[in-house]
Chain A
């Protein structure tokens, strides 16, 4: 998977959610939502901000909540989603 895309996605997450952390510190497979160890602990309001961020950054609409929950599972999942929609 393209490291450039991962870097871009991580920077998008930090910028869109105004997180005070180094984008590189986000693990590729770490869950973005929930309280699991190593996860970011994001919530539904953060999910909406990510929807807006993905639309702005990549021009891709997240059609519904079911799709979004899968796409926002992790950085890798979001990269897969972006690559699939951009293909």
Chain B
């Protein structure tokens, strides 16, 4: 068997989706902003990938937990549940992700997230589970 060294993807361009924290309302609760651009080839070709909203909520949760968006992450997306999409974001949208903790067990944390657009319209909502410490 060949041993492969695992290198986690950094949460920096082009994998970084969350711009930064807008407001903290608790130890790991608050709002995060994300700007949708047409920089990525996939967005130009097929629009914003809806599944990336799941990753956006996870990144927002980890940012509020103290992760550094520029240097890398402090955990990874481990699960998703009850996620629903209201509309696919388009370039020019400035999204807000409101995140709060649903529960914690050791280094496994579940967050509930609601994504809205600049007008307050619903974009997506759901829960993500993240594993911290990597």
Give chain A's interface residues, CB within 8 Å of chain B: 44-45, 47-49, 51-52, 55, 62, 65, 68
Contact at A52–B110, with CB atoms within 8 Å? yes
Determine whether the beta carbon of A51 is less than 8 Å from that of B103. Answer: yes
| B44-59 interface with A by 8 A CB criterion | none
Tell me the total A-B contact number using a CB cutoff of 8 A.
Answer: 31
Closest 4 CB pairs of A and B: A65-B106, A48-B105, A52-B103, A48-B108
B60 in contact (CB, < 8 A): no
Residues of A within 8 A of B96 (CB): none
Instruction: Assign chain B's interface to a size class.
Output: 10 to 19
Instruction: Give CA–CA (A47, B105) in the complex, Å.
Output: 7
Chain A neighbourhood of B106, CB < 8 A? 44, 47, 65, 68
30 contacts between A and B (CB under 8 A): A44-B105, A44-B106, A44-B108, A44-B131, A45-B78, A45-B79, A45-B129, A47-B105, A47-B106, A47-B108, A48-B103, A48-B104, A48-B105, A48-B108, A48-B109, A48-B110, A48-B129, A49-B110, A51-B103, A51-B104, A51-B105, A52-B102, A52-B103, A52-B110, A55-B103, A62-B105, A65-B105, A65-B106, A68-B105, A68-B106
B103 x A45 contact (CB < 8 A): no
Q: A47 CA to B103 CA in the complex, in Å?
A: 11
Query: What CA separation (Å) do A52 and B104 show in the bound complex?
Result: 8
CB-defined contacts of B79 to chain A, threshold 8 Å: 45
A65 to B129, CA, bound (A): 16
- Which chain A residue has the least Cβ–Cβ distance from B78? A45
Chain A: minimal CB distance from B113 (Å):
16
A47-B105, A47-B108, A48-B110 known; 18 new pairs, CB 8 Å cut-off, are A44-B105, A44-B106, A45-B79, A45-B108, A47-B106, A48-B103, A48-B104, A48-B108, A48-B129, A49-B110, A51-B103, A51-B104, A51-B105, A52-B102, A55-B103, A62-B105, A65-B106, A68-B105
